[in-house]
Structure 1
Amino acid sequence: MRFDTKLAVLLRDDLQTWQRLNVTAFLVSGIPSRHPEVIGEPYADADGTAYLPMFRQPVLVFEAAKERLTAAYERALARGLEVAVFTADLFTTGNDDDNRAAVAAVPREALDLVGIAVYGPRNAVDRSLKGARMHP
């Protein structure tokens, strides 16, 4: 199935494995609050055990060097796409309030990005992430 929208995560390529997983989970967590249509129906197994719903479309994960990540971030914003950010400072905080304060304390051009999530029309997301490679 081909979707009109794309949900993608771009991670800095120098992150440790645990950081990549943590950043990805945090970055995609806000998308359903703004776009509930990205969530499918709840799951159930053959025994009737109920499970939470998940995204109805794939989440594509990419990686790139810091400079390419920053360029993709700027292109996504210029295209009016919705972007979630995770900065290096967030590895030292322990809660949502401190996370928001850490981002708010830094001007946009000085954010030390380690990952972004981008959601929007498929072609615009593709153009924003141009040059990034699929995460291995």
Structure 2
Amino acid sequence: MTMDTKLVVILREDLPPAIAANAGVVLGLALGGRLENSVAADTKDADGGVHAGLNPHPVPTLVASGERLREIKAGADEQDLTVVGFNEVARRSRDYGAYMDALAATPASDLEYAGVALHGPRTVVNKLTRQLPLMR
């Protein structure tokens, strides 16, 4: 069954593994909190153990250069998409108040993204991301 919507996470290609993992988790949590029905029903294994429901969307994790991430974020902001950007101001802040203060003092043109998550119509998401490789 093909879904009408698509969800992708795009990470900056030069991130060290630990930072890439953190960025993916931060983006997934932030995006999931914005989507209705983002978690399927809990289910049981053959022994009766309960397993928490997961997101029913496949979630490809793609990579892009920092400049390409900025372009994708800008293009996605102009579309009918849910967009979450995890920028370096956020990544380096130690609490949310410090992030809000630092972001308020940072021009959009100076933001560097560790990653971006997108959700929306499959055709729109595909158009923005079709040339990007999967993370390896």
TM-score by length of 2: 0.88
Which consecutive residues of structure 1, in runs of 5 or more, have no partner in the other structure?
none
SS at match of 2:33: helix
User: Which stretch of the first structure deviates more once superposed, 63-72 or 103-112?
Assistant: 103-112
1:13-92 map, 5 Å: 13-92=13-92
1:90-129 map, 5 Å: 90-129=90-129
Q: Relative to structure 1, is the Cα distance of residues 61 and 50 closer, same or farther in structure 2, using a 3 angstrom cutoff? A: same
SS at match of 1:6: strand
CA distance in 1, matches of 2:103, 2:47: 45
SS at match of 1:36: coil
When the two chains are superposed, the root-mean-square deviation of aligned CA atoms in Å is 1.8
Q: Relative to structure 1, is the Cα distance of residues 109 and 43 closer, same or farther in structure 2, using a 3 angstrom cutoff? A: farther
Q: Relative to structure 1, is the Cα distance of residues 103 and 7 closer, same or farther in structure 2, using a 3 angstrom cutoff? A: farther
Q: Provide the aligned length of Structure 1 versus Structure 2.
A: 136
TM-score by length of 1: 0.88
Moved over 3 A (4+): 95-105
Q: Is the 8 A contact 2:89 2:111 kept in 1?
A: no
Which consecutive residues of structure 2, in runs of 5 or more, have no partner in the other structure?
none
Q: Relative to structure 1, is the Cα distance of residues 105 and 129 closer, same or farther in structure 2, using a 3 angstrom cutoff? A: farther
Q: Is the 8 A contact 1:68 1:132 kept in 2?
A: no
- Percent of pairs with identical residues: 28
